[in-house]
Structure 1
Amino acid sequence: MAHGAPTRAAGDVRGPGAARARDRRVRVPASAAHATAAAARDAHGQRRDGRDDPHHAHGDAAAGAAAANVLPESASAIVNLRVAIGERLDDAVDDIRRLVGPDVEVEVLTGGDPAPISPASGPGWEALVAALASSHPGVLPAPYGMLGATDGRHFTGIGPVYRFFPFELSNAELGGLHAIDESIRVSSYLRGLRFYEELLRRL
């Protein structure tokens, strides 16, 4: 499963009337990797260096000058990253360093490698499939890559972890996740609860 984390880039800009970058530092929070900044992509979102990039990155916060007509003494940016399945955080951080160049210091703030891929077989999987057939007749489970990090990553040493979400969401409900007035329909909520009831009976 994919893993996510923020990346901070900070740098000093000094010089009499000139914006000369110095001692710039980029802090890259670890749970994400492959920092691909907007500057490294063209208008179509493709990497300018021609390399394939399976990861996802976007800017979360940036800070610099106090006003538009003031040269900043320092600048910083935080980039949230996602490490692709099968990739490692260390490789992603190395890629970030290559993209930003040798004059920028990259520091991992927090994060880790993607969680192991959960098998589509075995007792846990069979219990999930049976519970879904009872709560959502006609719906078949299908493996997919989850971009977000969950607490399930802390339990992968015990056995397979399935980040399964048994609630049907409309496009509007999906767009409201982690937003003001986040909500789902009562019918979808109750149907999801039934799935968990059926799953617990089978464990």
Structure 2
Amino acid sequence: MAEDVVDLCSALLRFDTTNRGRGDSAGEREAAEFVAGHLEDLGITATLLEPAPRRTNVLARVPGEDPSLPALLVQAHLDVVPADPTEWSVPPFSGVERDGYLWGRGAVDMKDMVAMVLAVLGTWSREGRGPRRDVVLAFVADEEDQGVLGARWLVEHHADFFAGCAAAISESGGYSYRFGDRRIYPVATAERGTYHLRLTARGRAGHGSRRNDDNAVVKLIGALGRLAAHRHPVRLSPTVRAFLERTGAALGVEVDLDDVDGTLARLGPVGALAESTVRNSTTPTVLRAGYKVNVIPGTASAEVDVRALPGTAEELMATVDSLIGPDVVREQLEAQPPVQAPIDSPWFDAMAAALRAEDPEAVVVPYCMGGGTDAKAFSALGIDCYGFSPLLLPPGYDYRAMAHGVDERVPVEGLRFGTRVLDRFLSS
């Protein structure tokens, strides 16, 4: 049985759990069976649940010393996005260690977290230790699509398993950013909401050579152009405001909340963490119209990725309607509200303390994720969800380019650092 976090992560990276969406997936079964087998070897009962063939979720519970305390949920997804081997320096499912990194699809998104949690559990087993409170484990399928075979399915069909969980941790937080000689560790306490829209314009079909003042394509293009060109106003959520104020104070950078864009520029690479979360966004991504170049179609449609900050969804949809105008119909395909967890809480304080115990110079700040995670599903159960998957990153390493990128890799020493941090946090 693999025990070292590097060996565990390498083994997980060798499982092809590619999720192409729309039901096209390699499946998580082998990776899930590996995780479940490791848990069983440690004396932890694991349950495998498959809402569809090969789409496998793993649930387990590690009893704490004080069962009266609220439980903590640790959730991580086993699926990964596609990787084109012709673009990579190494085979994307090789799990090879090279130049101080582990390479492979899922190295930071997020099989590293799975490996770190398994390594902590192994350490507890060898040393006869355990957590202070119950730790509930969910290693899930389908996060890289819509979660309907993973977290969302579990919340709908197995909510009782998560009863008593007050908080949860998962991906996209707790990793280091360098600003000069300072290290900033952002912990995610919020996510923008996800609203996927279909816009449809209808007009008069006809010959492409003839004048047509009722062209569905032209109507749709006009609406999309207005949406894409619109600059949404700054809306500072509590998390983003705290990020700017606390990061600026720690780094000695002037923070002017009346000039947020200037403040982000002064914060440099650290400011890039917040640039997508000071405003809402409406991004056209899919177009469908026509079937022949000399035929004007009667219908044209587009899909738009809309992201909303906490408390702004109603205002944002009104803005969308005003921009697309009366000739375009809006249909909602997906609606996952924003996530907001308390910033000043014992959970956040414990995460910060665990980071500072391993890196005394750590500056720990809250931040808002521009995208989304399975936190949206679990927060529906009243669980406060945080992004906390700690890593110490070397200079020059572009963490944000790794997830879904070519040559995804995670630093070996960063993995070991994260394992020690998680051990401190989960133990306490």
- Which TM-score tier does this pair reach, normalised by the shorter chain? 0.7 to 0.9
- Check the 8 A contact 1:11/1:25 in 2, yes or no: yes
Residue of structure 2 equivalent to 1:114: 338
Relative to structure 1, the CA distance from residue 136 to residue 15 in structure 2 (aligned partners, 3 Å threshold; closer, same or farther) is same
Tell me how far 1:101 sits from its aligned partner. Answer: 1.0
Deviations 1:9-37 (A, max 9, x none): 22233244325146x999xxxxxxxxx94
Which residues of 2 match residues 33-44 of structure 1 at below 5 A? 37-40=224-227, 42=229
Task: State which of 285, 298, 301 in structure 2 corresponds to 1:73.
Answer: 298
Relative to structure 1, the CA distance from residue 173 to residue 163 in structure 2 (aligned partners, 3 Å threshold; closer, same or farther) is closer
Q: Helix, strand or coil for the counterpart of 2:356?
A: helix
CA distance in 2, matches of 1:69, 1:138: 65
- Check the 8 A contact 1:57/1:82 in 2, yes or no: yes
2:415 is aligned with what amino acid?
Y
Which residues of 2 match residues 43-192 of structure 1 at below 5 A? 47=231, 52=233, 54-66=279-291, 68-88=293-313, 90-116=314-340, 118-156=341-379, 157-168=381-392, 172-192=398-418
Tell me how far 1:200 sits from its aligned partner. Answer: 0.6
1:144 is aligned with what amino acid?
Y
2:233 is aligned with what amino acid?
D
CA distance in 1, matches of 2:392, 2:370: 18
Residue of structure 2 equivalent to 1:9: 199
Deviations 1:9-68 (A, max 9, x none): 22233244325146x999xxxxxxxxx9442465xxx54xxx736212222211212355
- Check the 8 A contact 2:194/2:337 in 1, yes or no: no
CA distance in 2, matches of 1:134, 1:11: 57
- Check the 8 A contact 1:4/1:83 in 2, yes or no: yes
Tell me how far 1:171 sits from its aligned partner. Answer: 5.4
Relative to structure 1, the CA distance from residue 186 to residue 124 in structure 2 (aligned partners, 3 Å threshold; closer, same or farther) is same
Relative to structure 1, the CA distance from residue 182 to residue 7 in structure 2 (aligned partners, 3 Å threshold; closer, same or farther) is farther
TM-score normalised by structure 2 residue count: 0.38
CA distance in 1, matches of 2:296, 2:397: 43
Equivalent residues, number: 185
Q: Helix, strand or coil for the counterpart of 2:315?
A: helix
CA distance in 1, matches of 2:213, 2:410: 50
CA distance in 2, matches of 1:129, 1:98: 43
Tell me, which stretches of 5 or more residues in structure 2 are unaligned?
1-189, 235-278
Deviations 1:47-99 (A, max 9, x none): 4xxx73621222221121235554233211111111023313x3322221111
CA distance in 2, matches of 1:84, 1:164: 20
- Higher mean displacement: 145-154 or 4-13: 4-13
CA distance in 2, matches of 1:67, 1:185: 51
Residue of structure 1 equivalent to 2:92: none
Deviations 1:139-179 (A, max 9, x none): 12111221122212233343432123423555544223223
Which entry has the higher C-alpha Rg, 1 or 2? 2
More strand by share: 2
More helix by share: 2
TM-score normalised by structure 1 residue count: 0.74
CA distance in 1, matches of 2:227, 2:284: 13
Relative to structure 1, the CA distance from residue 173 to residue 98 in structure 2 (aligned partners, 3 Å threshold; closer, same or farther) is same
Tell me, which stretches of 5 or more residues in structure 1 are unaligned?
27-35
- Check the 8 A contact 1:61/1:77 in 2, yes or no: yes
